[in-house]
Structure 1
């Protein structure tokens, strides 16, 4: 279902205008000088109490399904009907999903089919895809945007858990510093904005590359930073059973000390994402400057993403 099928023309216009105002105000506080403009901290008055975007079969009371074979699958909007965004709005459920690799069981594949996804974006490298190919949901386009950079073989030389943590901080910094990664991210966000219907993006474990992408989407519409960190850390809850099993197997195969070295890389820690945000603020000042200058998004693209994300 496209956005044009879900709203009347007048409500679509109101929705886009609201989202454009939100994106401009977040990017340029105080820049909205037209009559009736509101401050960033004030709620945006949307006639009828809704922006009008409606994902098929999804409402704020419909939680994303929990999958057994893809344990880190979840709604970017959050687990409780949509995180609070700027202007008193909320992130709209059923629009963007994130996950680990889609190596789904038959039962989980059937569940994903019911979401009527329009596109699946795979953020993995060629070798990762070859190792665990996606089972693409019915009717969804499959799009590749590899996001890893740097000398990943260095992971084999890690000596301590702190080495592993610094490695993960470096991965998050690369989302800001690596021009190839920024180009892929920018291209994908442009596709997010121009593609109708619910969309899903994922990496291998659904935590770092997918985590950064989700953090950018949430930040784009003014979800507060603490909520973004809390959402990021949900990986440790969703994937706990798999992480524990992986650590146990590693300890048995290579010994407890070696397993402990790599343990930080199996989940997420707040400081990993903080490192990315710190780099972003050092290089670009704000998330919106990063989106505009670093990723090359236009104000119109940011407004279109906002229109999809908020309700």
Structure 2
């Protein structure tokens, strides 16, 4: 099992919360970064998963709100008319939302209630949840699906250079493919998203790594082009820019310049993070399609339900 180091003493909780808020998620080394050709994200609609007539004709909802206290809250389908698929169709907005931890202020809580969410999927570890529990939304089902395990603070503190931080993040994305427990978590998440009616949101701590991977999978199921998927993944750096700048300055003050610079790559995302996981898919399964079916164990019915929700 892909496990982060054991829990530290409660006296380190404040520093741990700071690091987790900044998205410093790291794990033990899984070996050197292997050079590989960028994997081609297949259009699943043209790779054996095409189900004619399943696209929704629902009207697009109003623009997804930007939340002041939940900075990385956004729609998996993108903005405006929704991302365009390789077949020229559009993703349906207002179905699946992605986010960082749902700890909104009063104004943002009211906005979230107005989205009529049916379910919240929290993929953080037990320790992350204990440090910053999600807000309770009336009538919304809360489902905890832990992906990754262990003490994120201890893992972060093992990093000594920016290069090590980059490698840790790349290794984490590889573990979404190689680690059975992580694959089981993503399988449960996608299955629940497929079978639960109404708008839903899934999130980790900063909404960028585990959440970014799940978003990539949903967009791949819908047939979104690989360039669009990567652009959406990297948009985290814009959404979290202000928050990450504050976290970085806090790290400088508490840990010193050298430590802050070493940890800085963990605050945002880099194309190499997602690409490392995609390259691992190519090595282990050949295609995203095979990863979804052979790796996660999703059946064609579940994938068809997801595509029906995602594409209009």
1:5 paired residue number? none
1:295 paired residue number? 296
1:103 paired residue number? 103
Distance in 2 between residues matched to 1:109 and 1:163, nearest whole Å: 37
Question: 1:166 deviation in Å?
Answer: 0.2
Distance in 2 between residues matched to 1:220 and 1:124, nearest whole Å: 23
1:239 paired residue number? 240
1:205 paired residue number? 206
Q: Does the Cα contact within 8 Å between 1:116 and 1:138 map onto a contact in 2?
A: no
3-state SS, counterpart of residue 196 of structure 1: coil
Distance in 2 between residues matched to 1:158 and 1:145, nearest whole Å: 27
Question: 1:77 deviation in Å?
Answer: 0.4
Distance in 2 between residues matched to 1:284 and 1:243, nearest whole Å: 35
Distance in 2 between residues matched to 1:143 and 1:53, nearest whole Å: 29
Query: What runs of 5+ residues in structure 1 fail to find an aligned partner?
Result: 1-21, 38-43
Structure 1 residue ranges, 4+ long, deviating more than 6 angstroms after superposition:
none
For residues 268-288 of structure 1, give each alpha carbon's deviation from its aligned partner in whole angstroms, at most 9, with x where no partner exists: 011000001000111111111
For residues 167-192 of structure 1, give each alpha carbon's deviation from its aligned partner in whole angstroms, at most 9, with x where no partner exists: 00011011101001111111111111
Question: 1:257 deviation in Å?
Answer: 1.4
Question: 1:138 deviation in Å?
Answer: 2.3
Question: 1:87 deviation in Å?
Answer: 2.1
Question: Map of 1:1-311 to 2, 5 A cutoff?
Answer: 23=44, 25-27=46-48, 51-54=55-58, 59=60, 62-149=62-149, 152=152, 153-311=154-312
Q: Larger % of helix: which? A: 1
TM-score (norm 1): 0.82
CA distance change for structure 1 residues 51 and 27 in 2, over 3 Å: closer, same or farther? closer
Q: Does the Cα contact within 8 Å between 2:122 and 2:203 map onto a contact in 1?
A: yes
Query: How many aligned positions are there?
Result: 269
For residues 109-128 of structure 1, give each alpha carbon's deviation from its aligned partner in whole angstroms, at most 9, with x where no partner exists: 00000110010000001110
Question: 1:27 deviation in Å?
Answer: 3.7
Question: 1:59 deviation in Å?
Answer: 1.4
Q: Does the Cα contact within 8 Å between 1:149 and 1:174 map onto a contact in 2?
A: no
For residues 9-57 of structure 1, give each alpha carbon's deviation from its aligned partner in whole angstroms, at most 9, with x where no partner exists: xxxxxxxxxxxxx8563247xxx8xxxx9xxxxxx7x6xxx93353xxx
Q: Does the Cα contact within 8 Å between 2:83 and 2:224 map onto a contact in 1?
A: yes
Q: Which moved more, 1:283-292 or 1:142-151?
A: 142-151
3-state SS, counterpart of residue 67 of structure 1: coil
Question: 1:137 deviation in Å?
Answer: 2.3
Query: What runs of 5+ residues in structure 2 fail to find an aligned partner?
Result: 1-42
TM-score (norm 2): 0.82
Q: Does the Cα contact within 8 Å between 1:280 and 1:290 map onto a contact in 2?
A: yes
Q: Does the Cα contact within 8 Å between 2:219 and 2:229 map onto a contact in 1?
A: yes
CA distance change for structure 1 residues 24 and 269 in 2, over 3 Å: closer, same or farther? closer
